Amino acid sequence: MDGLTLFGLAAVSAMLVCYALEDRSAWYVFAFAVACGLASVYGFLQGAWPFGVVEAIWAVIALRRWQTRRSAEAESKP
């Protein structure tokens, strides 16, 4: 297994773990966004640009979800 494949495996594994833990903290949503960004980089480096584009879009969506959730958490604190 080469380095690029290991990088992709780590990125997608991080996405899976962070997605499963999103309900625990907004920081898992942020980590999911970062992992999506890394998976996007992997897709482009591997030559699978459709995968890279979709993962980049997921990263943006997850960052927006993180911002919304952080704002909601800040408003709910006394």
Range of the domain at 39: 3-76
Predicted structure pTM score: 0.90
Q: What is the mean pLDDT of residues 20-42?
A: 96
- The band of 1, judged by pLDDT with boundaries at 50, 70 and 90, is confident
Share of the chain above pLDDT 90, in %: 87
Q: Do residues 69 and 32 lie in contact, with contact meaning Cβ atoms separated by under 8 Å?
A: no
- The residues, ordered by sequence, that sit 6+ positions from 65 with a Cβ below 8 Å of its Cβ are 29, 33
Which residue's structure tokens are 């640009």? Answer: 49
Which residue's structure tokens are 């996007």? Answer: 40
Question: What's the Rg (C-alpha) of the chain?
Answer: 14
- Render pLDDT for 46-78 as a digit per residue (tens, 0 to 9): 999 999 999 999 999 999 999 999 988 887 776
Total domains present in the chain: 1
